[in-house]
Every structure is written in structure tokens, then in C-alpha cells.
A and B are shown apart, each in its own frame.
Chain A
């Protein structure tokens, strides 16, 4: 089971893919004094809709307060607290570690075998490891490779999706302003 008494809440927001939407969301968190652990934004299968995943510390924040406030933003189409239901969540990390002798390379390989991780680049001095998993797993993995000497690291932040047939989607289609000659005005494709 993925979530027994979650330490973190995960919210997912579907937003219109328009300029400034990320700014609106970030501004909301700042002015309402919401403590956010991570925020990721990405495209969906529909070009006019983006999807945000927001994680917050459940001890400090009531996710419903965040959800109701997000919902008030005009460009936010829908919000769900996915951590309150069965869900899948993933975090991705790239970790560059020292690997300049046989012993350290060996330990890397061993650690990677125990996690959903792999070596994606290896050179004479350093290697890049990639791990994709639940946030806790990623954290544990990082602890394991720490003694080898981490020199650089990047994480995407959590993305999540409810399990089963609960679909978070919107039937919304953007309206293209009509001009007199019947052609739609040329809309530029925005990205967040």
C-alpha cells in the first residue's frame, strides 16, 4: 500500500496553458503563507491544459485550504487531493557521484540493483545515477550513495496520479476568437 497516514499531501491541479498561470499559483502560495515542499508543472495530452503536482507537509498544512484557494484561481480548472485516495507517485533524481576506482563502481552497481535505479552515464571520475520511485525510496537511495561522495544532484519533484478509473480531466476546449472572414485568429501556443 502506498499511503498509510501520509506525511505529505499531494495535490494535483489542472490549469489552463496560458502565460502567467504558474505565476498566479506561486503568488497564491506566497501571499497565503502556504508552505509548499515541491511544485512541478508539465504538459498533458491536451495542448491547452497543463498539470501541476504540489506536495505539502501534512503536519503544517491543511490540503483543503490549499485546494479551495487554488480552485478560486480563474485559470485553475480542477483540483484534487490525490493523497487522500489510492494513487501512484513518482520522483526522479539524477545523482552524480564519485566513481574513480573499482570498489566504488562496484558499490554503485550493488546499490542500483536494490532500487529502481540505474547508471546512465559513467566516466573515468564520476557516474550519473538515475532513480525513479516514490519520494521516500528516492530519499533512501540518496542516503545510500552519500558515503560514495555526491558531487551534483537534481530532482524533478513529485508527480502523482490517482489509481483506477478516477480520471482527472476536463472536457474544456478553448474557443478561438472568430474574425469576420470566418477564420480563427492565429493563436500562439503558450507554455507555462
Chain B
């Protein structure tokens, strides 16, 4: 079959099971866009900015576990993808980006719309390719998908010069094993490490499981639950680990870290054993490393060997697929109980409940109330896709998730503007689920052009803007650490309701708590995108807070009622 490079790209995408791709055309990628007309099975979503395409592919990947695909032209098209690629890299999200490049003969001549894209994206991709020979193309696309989805997943970029897309060759799909001599996701786990881990588990009196994103990616939810239940080990979650265990489970304490539950942070500092599963001891999770969990022995299980002993020195480091390791471990785990330890944690939790803003009389509409009511009226069962900032932390605190892959958020990179496009991508991946983009007024305005994409594709998502007319999280830091000098954080905002209506998107504004239920019903009743603006208290603070670099248990807490500030 004589095919052009562009047709080979489409042919290979089809064989990888790609059903949707997100992109933006341009000169150097036009041959591939032309080839799309012959492949109607793959739906192309026209975005309004390439960053949106990358986040959509990312949201799709996180919602489905499949590889998301973004496509863009050379030069500015490709550089616009960079933020989205870096986001996917930090959160180990499997995406494949295809970019056009100037013809081979023009590479290195500063041709129109030429950028060294493989050079630019080298540090933010798991791997990338510049295709200099059309015969290599099918191999490279297979490799790219394989690398993106296996081991510790991540973004892979393929840069294809225009003349490679145009060149015609006899197409033979490469079947059989891939030869990647330097790619070796971990294999067998040493039995000695398993035994060492078991010994620590069995001898510990105050163990805690730190549950991370790796659990979701390896599909080890059941195994983690079994481990926790059998040995009665409380579970703290990372932001991306939410959904690893149902949050209404009595052993789940909640999120850890900078804005985590106080009980989780105290428990980590008091524990005599940390069992870190598929997490990477990010600085937002540990606080000051010198005082982090000093009383605890540490077991770290992760698929990426370079994560073990990177930030926190551990006693037992096991490198492997989490599910495989736990399957080896579980049969030998004894039934245990730690009633005293669990009671201590319960006391911390009760203290937190007293401080909880939701249990206090407030006469203003708060972000925390909005999120918690969204949880209530969606039955806690929606896929929520957040942006970055206060609303993101409030989501993590006040929207408990029962199922895996129902919270999609930019954790590692903290990319503002992620929410709306990622929600569109997630809805394409899981069309039967209710999807809510929960965004702040700041981040939303970074990628709000994708409202047009949502409308053009009639994507049935609900957008909740938590509008406090501030860059709230930055404002909070300015209040605490910069003596309330609110430099560049107050926001002029457009009328979001009229803005949505200009895009043909039904919208409503909510200013008091009693309208929230109605707003959820309104958003659900719209077939297609709907937007709700929640006008909330301007100077809300997210508690608790571990100041950057402080000890994990040195939290700033909300005062108890009657205690004063």
C-alpha cells in the first residue's frame, strides 16, 4: 500500500486505538490534516490555542488511562504545547504530541515557523523524536505510544518535517516486539526487599500509608485497600492520590501536605512507619525535609528507581509496578490492629472538625461551601477537573472522592489554565460521566478561549467559576508573608455570565448559598456546556497551611470558635 508519511501517521494512530485527537492546523502539519479527511474514524477537535490541545489530551489520558493525542504545527504551534507537555511530565500523564516541522532541507536555516522543538521539549518529555526518514515513522509512532503508557507514564513528542509527511512509501506496519534496548521498566522484585518490608510492617505500632498517583496508574486500589484493612493502617492521600481509596472509608484520613488535613500531617510526624506507595515525597507533601517523619522507618514502593532515596532516605526501597509488588507482599501480611494509634488520629480529626469553617456560622458565601455543596448535589460522584489555586485546595478538602480517576488536577507543575481544557478532554474520554470543571477566576481566564471549543463540539461539561476577584492563593501568601501588600492580585473580571452567553453557552450567577442546589440542576439540565459563576468572599483563607519549607506539623490552623484570630 503506497502511503504518504501523513497517511502513515493516521494509519498508525488508528492501530493504537486513537479515537480522538486535539489540535490546531498550520503550514507544516497541513499534509497530516489533509490525510485526516481519509480517516473519519478519528475525531479531530479544533482547539483555540495549542496549550488547550495539550491539556485536553492530558485530561483525556487521566480520565481513561489511555494515551491522549495532541497535534500542532511547527514553531509557535509547537512551543504553545510546551506548558501542557511539562504539566503531563510532572504528573506522569501519557500523551503523545505530534508536531509539524519545516522540511528536512530547511532545518537549521531559521526557516519560517522553524523551532528546534525536540531541543525545546527535551527536558519536559519522557522521550522525543525528530523523524528524518519516513521509513522510521511507523516504528517511532509505535515506540512513542509504548513509552508514553508503560513504566512511569509520560509525554512523548514526535516532530515530523513536512516533506517526510509528503513522501510516499510502501507501508508495512511493523508487527512484533519493539526493540528498545535502553527502555526497561522494572521487572522482578527482590524477595529480600519484600521480607524487609514485611518485617517493618509487622513490627510497627504507628504505621501510615501514603497513597499516591502510582496506585491509580498501576490499578492497585484493591490491593492497597486490602493492605490497609488487614493491618489496620490509616491512609493519607496525596493530591493526585485522591481516589486511590474511597475517602468515606474509616481508615482514610485525607490529603497530606501543605493544605492537607491536620490529622494526616500530625500522623506522618508521629508515625513509626511510613509506607509510601506510588508517591514521590514532593516538597508540598513533606515540608522541611530535615524534620520530616523523623520517628518513622520508611518503606517506599515506586516504579521509578530514580525516585527512591531522592528526597527522603528510606529504609526499604522497592522498585516495581505497585500492583505487582503488593500482590507479592499481601499474602504474607498478618492481621494487625492499632486501636491506640487510630484513636489518636481520631482525636486530631475531632479537633479539626471543631475548627472546620463549615461548622461555623458565616454570613458570606465561601468557596469551601460552594465546593462542599457541589459535592452534595452531585452525589460526590462527578469527575471534577480543577484549575490551580485556592479552589483546587478547597476541592481537595471538601469534595471527597469515592472512585479512582475522578479528580483531575495539575499537581506537580501547578498549571493555571489547566482546568477548562482538561475537563473537555476528560469528557471526550468518559462521555457517560458528569464532568465539572471547577476553576478560579484567574486560571479560567488563561484558557477561556476553549469555551469556543466546548461550544463547537457541544461538550456536555459544567463549568463552576469560584470568583473571588483575586488571585486568591497568591493573595493568601501576601496576607501571611508579605504583610498584606496585595501587589498584582486584585482582578478586574469580565461579566462571566454575559461572556459565556456571547459564546452561546447558558450561564447563571450565584451569590448566596441557597442558590447552589438550583445552579447544579441548571447546569445539569443544559445539554452541552454550561457555566455557573459563584461570587464568593474575596479574602477567604485555605486552612490548614504549612508555610513553604516549614515543618510539616507547624501548621497555621483556623482558630476554634471563640478563640479569636
Contacts and interface: CB of A to CB of B under 8 A. Distances in A.
A95 interface: no
Interface in A158-185: 170, 172-175, 177-181, 185
Interface string B133-149: 10110110000000100
B267 to A, nearest CB: 29
Interface residues of B, number: 30
A170 B180 CA distance: 12
A181 B170 contact: yes
A71 B136 contact: no
B147 A177 contact: no
Contact of B147 (A19, A74, A172): A74
B560 to A, nearest CB: 44
Contacts of A178: 172, 174
A189 B371 CA distance: 59
B26 to A, nearest CB: 24
B181 A180 contact: no
Interface string A62-93: 10110011011111111000000000000000
Contact of B169 (A65, A72, A76, A179): A179
A31 B135 CA distance: 33
Contacts of B184: 71
Contacts of A69: 306
A23 interface: yes
A71 to B, nearest CB: 7
Nearest to B139: A177
A69 B307 CA distance: 9
B48 to A, nearest CB: 31
A62 B311 CA distance: 13
B182 A76 contact: yes
Contacts of B138: 177
Nearest to A31: B123
A73 to B, nearest CB: 7
B305 A74 contact: no
A75 B182 contact: yes
Contacts of B305: 68, 71-72
Nearest to B306: A68
A16, A74, A170, A185 — most chain B CB neighbours (10 Å): A74
Given A68-B306, A72-B306, A74-B147, A170 B170 contact: no
Interface residues of A, number: 33
Contacts of B191: none
A75 B130 CA distance: 14
B179 A172 contact: yes
Contact of B122 (A27, A71, A76, A180): A27
A177 B170 contact: no
A72 B304 contact: yes
B183 A74 contact: yes
A20 B118 contact: yes
A177 B181 contact: no
A159 B60 CA distance: 47
Nearest to A75: B182
Interface in B132-172: 133, 135-136, 138-139, 147, 169-172
A15 B182 contact: yes
B236 to A, nearest CB: 26
A174 B143 CA distance: 14
Contacts of B290: none
Contacts of A118: none
Interface in B296-351: 304-306, 308-310
B511 to A, nearest CB: 47
A185 B310 contact: no
A24 interface: yes
A170 B183 CA distance: 13
Given A31-B123, A73-B182, A74-B182, A180 B170 contact: yes
A68 B305 CA distance: 6
A149 B309 CA distance: 47
B133 A185 contact: yes
Nearest to A181: B170
B122 A24 contact: yes
A172 B179 CA distance: 8
A23 B182 contact: no
Contact of B123 (A27, A65, A185): A27
Given A72-B304, A177-B174, A178-B172, A185 B122 contact: no
Contacts of A74: 126-127, 147, 180, 182-183
A19 B129 CA distance: 10
Interface string A32-51: 00000000000000000000
A77 B309 CA distance: 23
A178 B133 CA distance: 12
Given A31-B123, A74-B126, A185-B136, 10 more contacts: A15-B182, A16-B181, A20-B122, A71-B305, A71-B306, A74-B180, A78-B182, A179-B172, A180-B170, A185-B135
Interface of B: 118-119, 122-123, 126-127, 130, 133, 135-136, 138-139, 147, 169-172, 174, 179-184, 304-306, 308-310
30 contacts: A16-B182, A20-B118, A24-B122, A27-B123, A31-B123, A65-B306, A65-B309, A65-B310, A68-B305, A68-B306, A71-B306, A72-B305, A74-B127, A74-B147, A74-B183, A77-B182, A78-B182, A170-B181, A172-B179, A174-B179, A175-B179, A177-B135, A177-B136, A177-B139, A178-B174, A179-B169, A179-B170, A179-B172, A180-B169, A185-B136
Q: Which 6 A-B pairs have the closest CB atoms?
A: A180-B170, A172-B181, A185-B135, A68-B306, A177-B135, A77-B182
Interface of A: 15-16, 19-20, 23-24, 27, 31, 62, 64-65, 68-69, 71-78, 170, 172-175, 177-181, 185, 187
